[in-house]
Structure 1
């Protein structure tokens, strides 16, 4: 399929998932994960009307960002080393992998120096897999209360990654758990403003994630196709 056909196919699947769960499709936004495709393909994604791009390695993403003149809205979706924060702040609007207070502190310091605000998702390891990054669900409340001391980092929601499975239905408890955690934190008034966003769901399981409340889905090959690693 062409890029436009893939975009249309994804949108139809999102709309169907929203129909099954009584949601408004406008609540669900797509991040095109362009980390393995070229600058040219990334440019085509932007020209298609998808403005949200996901990258996970500063060394690859920053040259791409520069080549595209800063077009689009960039999301950092991988593990972020504190020493790489200086390369990210001011270019990436969203960080989906906030998983430690030392990273929040570094983000805040760099954002303050540049007059920026970083929107972040607290990464939560709902599945409990040792291979997954993120804090434990029971640590989220304390983390958020501590993170309130960093005024240039705005935590807008939660992010998780589900276990890989041939049966997307098996991921449902993980996505439901993240939504329930967000709702619990909001009910307690843990943050100054309610957490509104849920970043969850990838190519193999995004429909289940949408049914369970995802507001951002991260789609790579399914959407942008295969490309050589840049």
Structure 2
């Protein structure tokens, strides 16, 4: 059985190869290790292998791990799950990135509840790129107004867009989904140059990270290929 360190090495090589094949700058794509349901001991093993960015979906579970790993410096915590309005205060205080902002109410609360001494909270807007009823996220048509309004919030840094396309769609359709998100970000940068850095595309997972990188991903969110398959629910 491969160790977590071995897995990180394998995924890192995949990212480097895909980045090179896409003709992109080395180091322009970052690995976000999706650590939901994983114990803190697994994260310690990943950290020992050089991984510093972790994506969490469930707030209380994440807070427990943040406390358990408080002795380790330079860990960057990314919240990537659905956001309930009553959880924004804790998210604003504990995380450096939030990838799953999909409405203005949540953005406002994160800005209001982020301590100015912590520096701006990096956020991505989650887009429901395939308009799936089961998926969270705003529609592409909502982005311009949302970006304009979020650009006025003082304690947020609008970094870009996130999407979770249907992984079971044909490869050509999946590539088109990634391309649509990249095109939306390019359009927003042209139309809203003062809204934020707008330099981030959070897209691609274990099975499709090469496609995502070819279409411009800057963060790939990988869980299974880093930590192994999650145990089946009893």
What range describes the TM-score normalised by the shorter chain of this pair? over 0.9
- Tell me what 1:163 maps to: 166
Deviates more, 1:2-11 or 1:39-48: 2-11
Does residue 1:202 correspond to 2:221, yes or no? no
- Tell me what 2:52 maps to: 51
Gaps of 5+ in 1: none
User: Within 2, Cα distance between the matches of 1:100 and 1:196?
Assistant: 20
Deviation at 1:115, TM superposition (A): 4.7
User: Within 2, Cα distance between the matches of 1:97 and 1:26?
Assistant: 24
Does residue 1:122 correspond to 2:125, yes or no? yes
Deviation at 1:43, TM superposition (A): 1.1
- Tell me what 2:181 maps to: 178
Deviation at 1:39, TM superposition (A): 1.0
User: Within 1, Cα distance between the matches of 2:71 and 2:80?
Assistant: 17
User: Within 2, Cα distance between the matches of 1:184 and 1:116?
Assistant: 27
Contact 2:158/2:195, CA 8 A, preserved across alignment: no
User: Within 2, Cα distance between the matches of 1:228 and 1:58?
Assistant: 20
User: Within 2, Cα distance between the matches of 1:149 and 1:188?
Assistant: 15
Which structure is higher in RCO with an 8 Å CA cutoff and minimum separation 6?
A: 1
Local SS of the residue matching 1:27: coil
Distance 1:215 1:161, change over 3 A: same
Local SS of the residue matching 1:90: helix
Contact 1:94/1:119, CA 8 A, preserved across alignment: yes
Does residue 1:64 correspond to 2:65, yes or no? yes
Does residue 1:89 correspond to 2:92, yes or no? yes
Deviates more, 1:16-25 or 1:106-115: 106-115
Gaps of 5+ in 2: none
Distance 1:174 1:70, change over 3 A: farther
Deviation at 1:25, TM superposition (A): 3.1
**Cα RMSD (Å) of the superposition?**
1.9
- Give the number of aligned pairs: 230
Contact 1:70/1:91, CA 8 A, preserved across alignment: no
TM-score under structure 2 normalisation?
A: 0.92
Alignment of 1:122-161 (within 5 A): 122-161=125-164
- Tell me what 1:6 maps to: 7
Deviation at 1:193, TM superposition (A): 3.6
Q: Pick one of 188, 193, 196 that aligns with 2:191.
A: 188
Q: Which runs of 4+ in 1 moved over 6 A?
A: none
User: Within 2, Cα distance between the matches of 1:11 and 1:116?
Assistant: 29
User: Within 2, Cα distance between the matches of 1:162 and 1:125?
Assistant: 8
Distance 1:5 1:113, change over 3 A: closer
User: Within 1, Cα distance between the matches of 2:149 and 2:84?
Assistant: 20
User: Within 1, Cα distance between the matches of 2:170 and 2:21?
Assistant: 18
User: Within 1, Cα distance between the matches of 2:230 and 2:164?
Assistant: 23
